Structure 1
Amino acid sequence: MPIDVEKLELLRTIANALAERTLTDVNLLLHEAGLQELAWGHWQDDHYEVTDADRARAVLELIRDLPRADVDELALAVRQLFEVSIEVQAEKEATPLFLFASHLASQRALTGEVGEHLARWGVKLFVAHDSIEPDEEWQPEIERALRTADAGVVFLFPGFIESRWCDQEVGWLLGREVPTYALKFQGEDPYGPLGKKQAFTVRSGMTAAQVGDAIMDWIATKPALASGLDASLVAALQASGSFRKTDQIWERLHSASGLGVTEVGGLLTAVRDNDQVYNARGGIQGGETGPYAELVFKLAIAQPGFDANADLAREVARVRGLESLMPAHLAPEPDPWNRVGDDSPF
């Protein structure tokens, strides 16, 4: 369950700031925001003293269920109206996941095969190597990958602990506190701080694809990787090369929420351009089924980034015969020169 800590901090700051204002000012803001106004008893009482903490609690009850975008707008309004110091961070557009693989040179081929499988899910795996002495060309690239990786995957084989480079890579990842997944091969146990994390035992005979799927399952359990995973899956849908792959991607993507402008644009582009999406039918067992053009379009409509893609959505709806699904406020205006039963002489 992803928890938006920044949103919680904003809610608390807004509530505390409004608790210090008059009820008239607070209700004016709530009214403008389309929210229920507070009753007088929340601010003053003839029988007991209403504290700022009481007032803040009343405000929180009104605003805590607002979407993140609405909380950001409310915070900006509070900052401008009441000169309160509130830092509203612009939400970063999600990008496909970038993972760092720490592995022995002897296992580079296997690690590369796992990376190829993850690429079909839209996830990039940086395959480093355990060279004796990284040269000036390789070392900056490895360090750059370690600084920017969303997560790490450690391929633990016998001899891993003796590798000073692998050991430093793991330490770097753990020091950044990014999610790090240990894969145990041939009974090699994680050690040191890495040993505190649950490791996945790779059974004898497992293929690179199966190892890649295990990594995907692990990613899905990490809230910190949720937005990047959605971005990866959208990219994978655009590139899907078969109906079967579209089914597999949809199984992981169908419940996505909070997709931004870029991700929604990717969904719509997949419906418009990829015949392995718009010619396919499927869905989720026990859930909605049908043509993927319709299922993916509906998913796009439910996302915050949909309205900003209105022009693309209208194009996709027209090309794929999905006009009936367009939200009323974004549906194209009827052509006045092409009306049925028009008596115009032209």
Structure 2
Amino acid sequence: MAKENKETRVFRGKSLRIFVSYSSEDKQLAGAIKEGFEHYGMDVFLAHEDITPSAEWQETILKRLKQTDVFIPLLTNNFKESNWTDQETGIAVANRKLIVPLRVDINPYGFIAKVQAFKFKYDTSRGSNGSKTYSCWDSCLEITKLILNKKKLRENLKDCLIRSFAKSNSFEDANKKTEMLENYEAFSKEQIEEIVKGSIENRQIYEAYKAGVFLKKFMTKYKKHINSKRKKELMKLVSSK
């Protein structure tokens, strides 16, 4: 088997799994939450409450709940009326998952009554066809920062952030992700290679102010682990903006 080319190799790293528990009445808002966390490289599962669970579906839910790192109940008025959300919450509690309740309309109750809720905010707008759309980028960013401070999840989140950093879609986006990466003191050789590779290939990164400052320090700190050709190329890009 031919060796994988370092230039084209896809960085995978670790994953961080999120399970969002919600009422089917709030599926559009749940979809916006999924999009928000996936933007930061995380793996998000939405439990489709509107489907009457078969034995196979229930097995999938149980498997996902056991595998998840963070359990996020979307606490709207509809949440309490669901047939399944309380059960999902109970399983998450029993499995000692990190639980981050999103308070939209109601406070945490029952199994999670004593868990501090995150005051979740979102924006709404109308699409070209008149349908209601949701956006919750700021809240998802703040929750990601909260996860960043959890010792057991920091390393998994690091790989998620590195993957998403390479896909930064604006200067602002690159700068926000840079601020989170700055919280880490050490990176592996593979992580270093991915940060350098992603930065060279994305002008939204190397032309962003905060990202540029971070990369200069980063290359100095890890110069022994960076290919000299790539280091020279990235330094030129960062310095030319």
The TM-score range, normalised by the shorter chain, is 0.7 to 0.9
Cα distance in 2 for partners of 1:313, 1:108 equals 46
Return the index of the structure with the highest Cα Rg.
1
Cα distance in 2 for partners of 1:203, 1:280 equals 27
| 1:330-341 matches, cutoff 5 A | none
Query: What is aligned with 1:320?
Result: 234
Query: What is aligned with 2:216?
Result: 294
- 1:115-139, Cα deviation, whole Å (9 max, x unpaired): 2122222223212121251236644
Cα distance in 2 for partners of 1:253, 1:321 equals 19
* Superposition TM-score, scaled by structure 2 size: 0.77
Relative distance call for 1:131 and 1:298 in structure 2 (3 A) is farther
- 1:31-65, Cα deviation, whole Å (9 max, x unpaired): xxxxxxxxxxxxxxxxxxxxxxxxxxxxxxxxxxx
Residue number among 109, 113, 119 corresponding to 1:195 in the alignment: 113
> Is 1:117–2:36 an aligned residue pair?
yes
* Higher RCO (CA 8 Å, separation ≥ 6 residues): 2
Following superposition, the deviation at residue 253 of structure 1 comes to 1.0
Cα distance in 1 for partners of 2:235, 2:142 equals 38
SS at match of 2:140: helix
Cα distance in 2 for partners of 1:262, 1:313 equals 12
Cα distance in 2 for partners of 1:196, 1:108 equals 26
SS at match of 1:237: helix
> Is 1:260–2:188 an aligned residue pair?
yes
Assess if the C-alpha contact under 8 Å between 1:96 and 1:235 holds in 2. Answer: no
| 1:62-77 matches, cutoff 5 A | none
Assess if the C-alpha contact under 8 Å between 2:174 and 2:205 holds in 1. Answer: yes
Following superposition, the deviation at residue 165 of structure 1 comes to 1.6
Question: What letter is aligned with 2:234?
Answer: R
> Any unmatched runs of 5+ in structure 1?
1-92, 284-289, 323-346
Assess if the C-alpha contact under 8 Å between 2:25 and 2:78 holds in 1. Answer: no
Query: What is aligned with 2:165?
Result: 237
| 1:100-179 matches, cutoff 5 A | 100-135=19-54, 138-179=57-98
Relative distance call for 1:204 and 1:236 in structure 2 (3 A) is closer
> Is 1:282–2:210 an aligned residue pair?
yes
Assess if the C-alpha contact under 8 Å between 1:179 and 1:222 holds in 2. Answer: no
Cα distance in 1 for partners of 2:192, 2:20 equals 29
Residue number among 196, 199, 212 corresponding to 1:271 in the alignment: 199
Following superposition, the deviation at residue 296 of structure 1 comes to 4.0
SS at match of 1:152: strand
Assess if the C-alpha contact under 8 Å between 1:267 and 1:297 holds in 2. Answer: no
Question: What letter is aligned with 2:33?
Answer: V
Question: What letter is aligned with 2:208?
Answer: A
RMSD of aligned residue pairs (Cα, Å): 2.7
SS at match of 2:102: strand
Query: What is aligned with 2:5?
Result: none
Cα distance in 1 for partners of 2:54, 2:38 equals 27
Relative distance call for 1:111 and 1:159 in structure 2 (3 A) is closer
Q: Percent identity of the aligned residues?
A: 24
Cα distance in 1 for partners of 2:166, 2:123 equals 32
Relative distance call for 1:132 and 1:271 in structure 2 (3 A) is closer
Question: What letter is aligned with 1:197?
Answer: V
> Any unmatched runs of 5+ in structure 2?
1-11, 125-134, 237-241
Question: What letter is aligned with 1:297?
Answer: M
